[in-house]
């Protein structure tokens, strides 16, 4: 049985105060908080078995290697990948995307087309623009609707045999829209295109089965799902990853080196040059263990209640407009009040100890679509409470009084 009071005890940070008020942390889409169980895994690593992995013959190195590889298996199991070596550790979502973009630089030609969605984060736009500049391929955009969903009819019309890659986020970071990735994947595959799903915003809320959905590439960051910053993953189907060239040269990624020729190591090491974020990788596994123990079904249903409660409350505020009203969305509310600048509301809320995000959320094209400078975004997690939503509600009302 899900008990938020119990869960909150795992997060010491939630009981601190900010500007003399109890912290109300509603910036979970930017980064989630880290439970004791995960922090302890990190300190345990440094206190007991900090060593470089894969190469050492000594005991500590073996223990560190075992823990790191066990984390890989945990991630594999969580996403139901066919093999552990289909999970590549990276520094995070952005790097994962760049690994694929760099790999496709040698595969794409002038006639090829890439399709991205209008709901993308900048990190899922810029690498592809750079890739198109390099290869001469064309970048096309799946348009969005007023509700903040993808225009699926337009998507189908854009798909053609020249489409090589389709990139869509599983959940939009700015609006919370859950995109119909199964349909996107199936239709893309019918035209022979591969699909990369950015799971950064989805993975804290939805347990994704990469095989059931037939996903080609899936990427996410540990810090979005109760893990530490600086570590993330790239899932790719074995057959696809084998065809991609390595991302960076260095140690770990080689099989043999002479001055004439280097042969690359097998997966996953081909993409893991240099000493990785070892404690981060281990903690990534611990974070997934932690969330799975709470249970993703329980998390999803509780967050759904939070979303409904918050949406109802905020909609009652005069002049408040919510951006992103898809029927399927995660617990994110992006909004503005009248002509008040989001920055002003965010600053006042901060004074009351309420942490929200303001601005364009690294998704400027979405803001341009709505013709607004940005929004205030409150994003909820399973450790948030209904009482905190009441505080937010009151806070917004107070901010409006001050600003109008």
| Interacting residues with another protein (CB under 8 A) | 19, 340-341, 343-344, 347-348, 350-351, 358-359, 373-374, 402-403
Work out how close the CB of 293 gets to another protein at its nearest, in angstroms, rounded to a whole number: 33
CA distance 298 to 292: 10
Q: Which is nearer to another protein, 291 or 349 (CB)?
A: 349
Q: Which is nearer to another protein, 241 or 367 (CB)?
A: 367
Q: Which is nearer to another protein, 25 or 290 (CB)?
A: 25
Please work out, in degrees rounded to the nearest 5, the angle formed at the alpha carbon of residue 332 by the alpha carbons of 282 and 40.
Answer: 20
Q: Which is nearer to another protein, 13 or 402 (CB)?
A: 402
Beta-strand ranges (E) seen in 82-159 are: 87-90, 113-117, 138-142
- For residues 226 and 32, is the Cβ–Cβ distance under 8 A? yes
Work out how close the CB of 392 gets to another protein at its nearest, in angstroms, rounded to a whole number: 17
- For residues 233 and 89, is the Cβ–Cβ distance under 8 A? yes
CA distance 110 to 243: 20
Work out how close the CB of 26 gets to another protein at its nearest, in angstroms, rounded to a whole number: 18
Work out how close the CB of 344 gets to another protein at its nearest, in angstroms, rounded to a whole number: 5
**Angle between helix 278-294 and helix 296-315 axes, rounded to 10 deg:** 80
Q: Which is nearer to another protein, 73 or 351 (CB)?
A: 351
CA distance 384 to 343: 23
- For residues 34 and 227, is the Cβ–Cβ distance under 8 A? yes
132 flagged as catalytic? no
Strand, coil or helix: 230: coil
Work out how close the CB of 71 gets to another protein at its nearest, in angstroms, rounded to a whole number: 30
Q: Which is nearer to another protein, 60 or 403 (CB)?
A: 403
Q: Which is nearer to another protein, 237 or 361 (CB)?
A: 361
Element (H, E) at 221: strand 217-221
CA distance 131 to 103: 10
- For residues 184 and 176, is the Cβ–Cβ distance under 8 A? no
Work out how close the CB of 337 gets to another protein at its nearest, in angstroms, rounded to a whole number: 13
Residue 93 phi/psi, 5-degree rounding, is -55, -45
Work out how close the CB of 357 gets to another protein at its nearest, in angstroms, rounded to a whole number: 10
Q: Which is nearer to another protein, 178 or 340 (CB)?
A: 340
Residues 6+ apart with CB under 8 A from 206: 170, 171, 178, 296, 300, 330
CA distances from 213 to 151, 153, 197 (A): 20, 21, 11
- For residues 14 and 25, is the Cβ–Cβ distance under 8 A? yes
CA distances from 76 to 38, 59, 160, 400 (A): 18, 26, 32, 47
The one catalytic residue in 362, 385, 398, 403 is 362
Q: Are strands 24-25 and 113-117 parallel, antiparallel or unpaired?
A: unpaired
CA distances from 180 to 115, 170, 186 (A): 15, 8, 10
Work out how close the CB of 272 gets to another protein at its nearest, in angstroms, rounded to a whole number: 31
Helices (H) and strands (E) in the chain, counts: 13, 17
Active site residues: 362
């Amino acid at each position: 049985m899900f008990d938020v009071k119990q869960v909150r005890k795992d997060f010491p940070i939630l009981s601190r105060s900010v500007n003399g008020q109890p912290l109300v942390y509603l910036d979970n889409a930017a980064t989630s908080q880290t439970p004791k169980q995960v922090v302890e895994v990190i300190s345990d690593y440094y206190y007991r078995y900090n060593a470089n992995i894969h190469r050492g013959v000594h005991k500590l190195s073996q223990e560190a290697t075992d823990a790191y590889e066990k984390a890989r298996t945990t991630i594999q199991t969580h996403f139901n990948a066919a093999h552990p070596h289909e999970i590549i550790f990276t520094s995070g979502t952005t790097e994962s995307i760049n690994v694929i973009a760099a790999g496709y630089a040698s595969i794409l030609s002038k006639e090829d087309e890439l399709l991205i969605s209008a709901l993308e984060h900048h990190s899922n736009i810029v690498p592809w623009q750079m890739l198109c500049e390099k290869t001469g391929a064309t970048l096309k955009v799946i348009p969005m609707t007023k509700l903040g969903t993808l225009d699926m009819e337009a998507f189908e019309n854009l798909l053609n045999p020249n489409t090589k890659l389709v990139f869509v986020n599983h959940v939009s970071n700015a609006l919370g829209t859950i995109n119909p990735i199964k349909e996107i994947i199936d239709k893309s595959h019918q035209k022979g295109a591969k699909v990369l799903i950015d799971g950064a915003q989805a993975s804290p809320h939805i347990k994704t089965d990469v095989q059931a959905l037939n996903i080609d590439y899936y990427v996410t960051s540990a810090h979005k799902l109760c893990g530490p910053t600086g570590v993330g993953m790239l899932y790719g189907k074995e057959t696809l990853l084998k065809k991609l060239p390595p991302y960076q040269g260095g140690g770990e990624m080689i099989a043999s080196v002479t001055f004439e020729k280097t042969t690359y190591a097998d997966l996953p090491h081909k993409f893991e040059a240099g000493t990785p974020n070892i404690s981060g990788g281990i903690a990534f596994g611990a974070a997934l263990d932690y969330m799975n123990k709470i249970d993703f079904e329980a998390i999803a249903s509780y967050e759904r209640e939070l979303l409904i409660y918050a949406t109802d409350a905020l909609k009652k505020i005069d002049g408040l407009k919510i951006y992103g009203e898809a029927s399927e969305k995660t617990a994110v509310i992006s909004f503005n009040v009248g002509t008040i600048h989001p920055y002003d509301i965010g600053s006042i809320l901060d004074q009351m100890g309420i942490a929200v995000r303001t601005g364009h959320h690294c998704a400027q094209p979405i803001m341009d679509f709505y013709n607004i400078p940005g929004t205030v975004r409150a994003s909820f997690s399973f450790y948030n409470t209904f009482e905190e939503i009441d505080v937010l509600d009151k806070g917004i009302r107070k901010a409006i009084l001050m600003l109008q």
